[in-house]
A and B are shown apart, each in its own frame.
Chain A
Amino acid sequence: MSVRPLPLQACLGFGGTVANGLILHPDKKTLIYPLGTTIVLRDRGDLTKQEFLQGHNNQVSCVTVSRSGRYMASGQISPMGFSAPIIIWDYASRKLVHKLILHKVKIQGLDFSFDDELLTSWGGTDDCKLVIWRTKTGEAICGSPTPVDYAIAAKWANLTRNTLITTADMKINVWEVDAENRKLYPSICDTGKRKRVNQCVVIDDKDEYMYVGTRSGDIMQVSLGPKMYRAGGPLPMIELGVLCLQFTPFKDLVCGGGDGTVNLVRLPSFKNVKKLKLQGGVTSLTVAGQGDRGSFELYAGTAMAQIYLVKYDGATNAMTAMLIQRCHFNKINDIAFPMKYSDLFCTASTNDIRMWNLKEMKEILRIEVPNSECEAKDSLNQECHCCAFMPDGKTIISGWSDGRIRAFAPQTGKLQYTIVNAHQKMGGYVGAVDTKCFQGVYAIATTSDSLRIVSGGVEGNVRVWRIGSQSHSMLASMKAHTQACTYIAVKKDNSECVSCSNDGSCMVWDLTKYTRNNSIEANNFFKSVNYHPDESQLLTCGTDRKITFWDAYDCQPIRVIDGSLSADMLSLDISPDGEGFVSGGGDREVKLWNYDEGHCYFVGLGHSSKISRIKISPNMQKVVSVGEDGAILIWDYKKPISDSPPDKNVNFKSPNSPE
C-alpha cells in the first residue's frame, strides 16, 4: 500500500519577506509569489484559481521569471551546512527542468540574462558565491567567490550577455562575463564618499546607468561605462531604506521603502513626487499596466503579507492602493470551525484573530487586540494561543498570552467580555520582574450547550467558567498538571473532558463534580488529545513522534504507531465519521491516516515550517492546516482507503464452508 500525495486545493498566504518575491508574469495574467516551500501561480483577477509548484524541501528564498516568461527559477534556504538547490521551471508546462546544486545554506537571489541563455545565482552570507549557469542544459559555466561582503542584489544588463552587476555592502561590482572562456572579470564602481549598503539595483534600457537603492534610503545613479557615481536622491531620504526598485512605463523610478511607502521618483531630478503608505515594508513591486498621461498600475507586496494594487493617476498626481490579498504574516497558533458548519473558520495568530470564508478564500473579519503591556502598541509580543466558536455561534472565544480569555462577536468583531486573570500563577507578581512566563491561556474548549468554557493555562491549571447571558464566573479550578496544558477536548454529553500537558500526563476530568477521573502518564510532551467520535477511545500525540490510541474508560494504551520518523507531532484531528484522522508536526507533512488500520494513506507537502494546528472541516470536504510560516493551506479530504482493487486470489470464504 503506497502513500499518495494529498492534493493541495488552495493557499492563503504570501511570503512577504522574500525580496522581489511578487512577480507578474510577462503575459500579464498570472501573479507569482513564494509561500513557504511552494511557489504559487495565481490568476491575477481570481483568488481561487491557484496552481502550485512544489519541489523545494525548505523555505523558498527567491523567485525570478525570465524576460520572455518561458522559464522560472527559485532558490531556497537550507539548514546550516546543507546544500541549497536552485530549481529551473518550465512555465508553460509547470514542470521542473533542472535542479542545480552548488550553493549552500541560502540562495540570496537569481536573475536571468536578457535572452534567457544564462542564469546567475548568488549565495547568502554562509555561501558567498556567484555562479553563472546555462539555462538550457543546467550546467555551471563559471563562478567566483564574493568574499566577506556577499552580494545582496544582482542584475544582468538589458542589451548584452556580457555584463552583470552585483551590489553589496559599500560596494558595487560590474562583472564582465566571458561565457566562452568561462571567465568572470570584476571591476569596482567608484561612488566617492558615499558608503552605503546597496540593497537593490535596476538598469535602464540603454545600459547607460544603473540605479541602486540603499539601506540609507536614497537611490544612486551610477554609470556603467566609466563606472562612476553621477547623481543621487531623493531628499528627504526614504525611511528604513529602499527595499525594492522598479522602472515605471514612463521611465521614472518607483521604489518601495522599509517604512511601507511606495514612492514615485522622477528622473533625472530624483524628486519624490508622490508617496503612499501601505502596511508593512514594501518588499516587491511589479508593474501591471500603463494608461495615458503618465498613469500606471503596479502590484506591491509587503512584509506584512499583503498584496496591493497601486494605481497612479498622472493627470491629478494621485496614488491609490487597493488591497487584493491579505493573510497572516506571522505564526498561526490555532484553527477553529463553528459547530457543524464548514463555510468559514477562524485562525489565531499574534495580535489578531481572522475569520475566513472557506469557499471564496477571503478574509471576512479581522479582530486585532493591541498589546496593552508594551508601550509600542503594534509590537508582536501579544499572542493569541487558541480560539474556538461557541456552539450557539454567538461568540468567538480566544485565549491570550496575557492570561485573559476574550470573547468577540462574530459579525462585528466587538469585544463581548473579557475574563481577566483567567490563567495566572498566583504569586507570580511577588518580587518577580518578568511575569510573562506565568500567564497565558494555552487551550480552550466549550461545552455543547454553550454554557461553560474549559480552559487550560500555562501554569497547568484547568479551569471551568460559567457563561451567563450577561455575566461569567469561575466554577472550578482543577490543578494536577505541573506544566502548561496544551489541548483540551470535551465529550459530547459534557460529562467529561480530557486535557493534555507538557509534563507528560493527560488527565480525564469529571465536569459535574469537577474531580479527576483518570490519568495517563507517558514519557512525552503531549501536544494534542482527541476523543474518537464514539468516545470509546482517545488519541494522543506529542514530542515522542508517536500517535497513541488509549481506551477512554480505563486509560490503558491500545496501540502505538509511529507518527513521524524525524520530528515531533504537534496536532491531530479525527474526522467526524471516525474513519480517518489527520496529523501534522515538525516534519512539515500533513498526513491522513485510516483510524482502524493505523496506516497513512496520504501525505501533503507544502508547509515550510512546523504545522501548529490541523483540522478537518465538519462536512469532511477539506483539511485546513496552519503553520509557523503564517500560511493557511487547504487540502482536499480523501477517504483513507486503498485505491488498489481488491485481490482476486483472496478467498473470502473458507474452503470447507457450505455453498
Chain B
Amino acid sequence: MWNSHESVYKIIKPSEAYHAFTPPQSAKELRDRKVDEITLRLKQTMRLKAAATFGRPLGSFRPSARNFLRKHSKEPQILYGAVQLRCTKHEKRKPDLPKERPTYGKVKMMDYIKTNAEQMIHSSPNRSKCPKKPKRYALRRGFATVPTYLASRMRTLTNQNNKDNLEQQAADCGHKGTRKLDEKERITLMNNLKLKWADMNARYQRMSVVLDIESKKRRKERYEENLSQLERDIALLSRSVILVSDSVPAKVQKALTQ
C-alpha cells in the first residue's frame, strides 16, 4: 500500500446540510453581554477572596530558579548614615503634561538686560522683616496665648488620643480624628456596590416598557433613585484615599442629641 495522504474519496466533498445560522448580535445584546461578563468576573474575584484562606492560589507554587535562599538574606538590614525615611504618600504630584502640543521652531527673542532692568525698576523693596506698629487688640493681655482651660483640655485629649491611636496616627499620616480606609476594604465595598448595581440594573432593564399602572411607575422611580445613589457611592469610593472619621459628624450628633 503506497504511502500517500491523497485520496480519491476526498475529491468530491459531500454536499453540506443546512446548518442553523445565528444572526450577529445587536448593539444592545453586545452591551448586555459585556455587562454580564464583567459581573461574572467580579463575582468570581469576590468568591476567590472569600475562599482565600485555602492556601495560595494554584500555580503560585511553581518553582523558580531565581528565588533561592541567598547568603545573609535573613539577617536584618542596617542602614548607615542619615537615611531619611519619607512618607511618599503626600508627595506633591507633578502637574499634568500640557495637552496642547508645544510649538517648535518659534524663537522668542528676549533682551534679558532690559527685562531685568524693568523688573528692578518696578519692583518694590521687601519690607516684611521691618517691624510694624502693632494693632491695638494685639496689645491686650493674654493675646495670642491659649487659655489655660483650653490648654489643659487639649493636653488631656492629646494624651488620650496618643494612647489610643498611636499606631493608627502613624499610618494615617497624622490626620487627627480620622483613619484611612483600608485598600482591601475599599475594593471589597466597591465591588459589592457594583454587584448590587448590576443586579439592580438588570432588574431595571427587565422592566416592561409600558408603565401602565401606578406601582410600576413608582418602582421605576425607586430603581432610578437607587441606581443613581449607588453610582454616587461608587464614585465616592473610587477615590484613592478615603478618610473615615471616628467621631459622629456634627449634624448627626445634633440629630442624635435632640
Which A residues from 361 to 376 make CB contacts under 8 A with B?
A: 364-365
The minimal Cβ–Cβ distance linking B172 to chain A, given in whole angstroms, is: 77
B-contact bits for A445-459, CB 8 A (1 contact / 0 none): 000011100000000
Residue pair A412, B2 in contact (C-beta under 8 Å): no
* Interface pick from A1-9, A20-28, A403-411, A590-598: A403-411
Residue pair B11, A344 in contact (C-beta under 8 Å): yes
Tally of contacts, chain A with chain B, CB under 8 A: 59
* Interface pick from A385-393, A476-484, A580-588: A385-393
Residue pair A470, B3 in contact (C-beta under 8 Å): yes
Q: Is A416 an interface residue (CB 8 A)?
A: yes
B-contact bits for A112-152, CB 8 A (1 contact / 0 none): 00000000000000000000000000000000000000000
Q: Is B143 an interface residue (CB 8 A)?
A: no
A-contact bits for B1-24, CB 8 A (1 contact / 0 none): 111101111111000000000000
Residue pair B2, A343 in contact (C-beta under 8 Å): no
B-contact bits for A420-458, CB 8 A (1 contact / 0 none): 000000000000000000000000000001110000000
Contacts of B10 in A (CB 8 A): 393, 411
Residue pair B9, A467 in contact (C-beta under 8 Å): no
Most buried by B among A357, A364, A411: A411
Which A residues from 332 to 370 make CB contacts under 8 A with B?
A: 338, 341, 343-344, 355, 357, 359, 364-365
Residue pair A410, B6 in contact (C-beta under 8 Å): yes
Q: Is A395 an interface residue (CB 8 A)?
A: yes
The minimal Cβ–Cβ distance linking A404 to chain B, given in whole angstroms, is: 16
- Give the interface residue-count category, chain B: 10 to 19
- Give the interface residue-count category, chain A: 20 to 34
The minimal Cβ–Cβ distance linking B123 to chain A, given in whole angstroms, is: 84
Whether A416 touches B4, Cβ cut-off 8 Å, given contacts A393-B9, A411-B10, is yes
Residue pair A392, B1 in contact (C-beta under 8 Å): yes
Q: Is A394 an interface residue (CB 8 A)?
A: yes
Residue pair B7, A469 in contact (C-beta under 8 Å): no
Name A's interface SS.
loop
The minimal Cβ–Cβ distance linking B11 to chain A, given in whole angstroms, is: 6
**A394-B11 Cα distance, complex, nearest whole Å:** 11
Whether A410 touches B7, Cβ cut-off 8 Å, given contacts A343-B12, A344-B12, A357-B12, is yes
**A359-B12 Cα distance, complex, nearest whole Å:** 10
**A469-B4 Cα distance, complex, nearest whole Å:** 8
Residue pair A394, B2 in contact (C-beta under 8 Å): yes
Residue pair A394, B12 in contact (C-beta under 8 Å): no
Q: Is A175 an interface residue (CB 8 A)?
A: no
Most buried by A among B2, B3, B4: B2
Contacts of B2 in A (CB 8 A): 390, 394-395, 407, 416-417, 450, 467-470
Contacts of A410 in B (CB 8 A): 6-8, 11
**A403-B7 Cα distance, complex, nearest whole Å:** 26
Most buried by A among B1, B3, B4, B8: B8
Contacts of A341 in B (CB 8 A): 8-9
The minimal Cβ–Cβ distance linking B1 to chain A, given in whole angstroms, is: 5
**Which of A364, A449, A467 contacts B11 (CB under 8 A)?**
A364
Contacts of B9 in A (CB 8 A): 338, 341, 393
**A359-B15 Cα distance, complex, nearest whole Å:** 12
Residue pair B1, A449 in contact (C-beta under 8 Å): yes
Residue pair B1, A393 in contact (C-beta under 8 Å): no
The minimal Cβ–Cβ distance linking A159 to chain B, given in whole angstroms, is: 54
The minimal Cβ–Cβ distance linking A617 to chain B, given in whole angstroms, is: 14
Residue pair A469, B8 in contact (C-beta under 8 Å): no
Contacts of A417 in B (CB 8 A): 2
Residue pair A409, B4 in contact (C-beta under 8 Å): yes
Which A residues from 257 to 295 make CB contacts under 8 A with B?
A: none
The minimal Cβ–Cβ distance linking A339 to chain B, given in whole angstroms, is: 9
**A82-B2 Cα distance, complex, nearest whole Å:** 54
**A467-B1 Cα distance, complex, nearest whole Å:** 5
Contacts of A390 in B (CB 8 A): 1-2
Contacts of B8 in A (CB 8 A): 338, 341, 344, 389, 393-394, 396, 410
**Which of A359, A365, A395 contacts B4 (CB under 8 A)?**
A395
The minimal Cβ–Cβ distance linking B9 to chain A, given in whole angstroms, is: 5
Contacts of B1 in A (CB 8 A): 390, 392, 394, 449-451, 467-469
Q: What are 7 sample pairs from A and B whose C-beta atoms fall under 8 A apart?
A: A341-B9, A393-B9, A394-B6, A410-B6, A450-B1, A467-B1, A467-B2
Give the B-binding residues of A (Cβ under 8 A).
338, 341, 343-344, 355, 357, 359, 364-365, 389-390, 392-396, 407, 409-412, 416-417, 449-451, 467-470
Give 9 new A-B contacts, CB below 8 A, not counting A393-B10, A416-B4, A451-B1. Answer: A341-B8, A344-B11, A364-B11, A410-B7, A411-B6, A417-B2, A467-B2, A469-B2, A470-B3
- Ordered nearest first, which 5 A-B pairs have the shortest CB separation? A469-B3, A393-B8, A394-B4, A411-B6, A393-B7
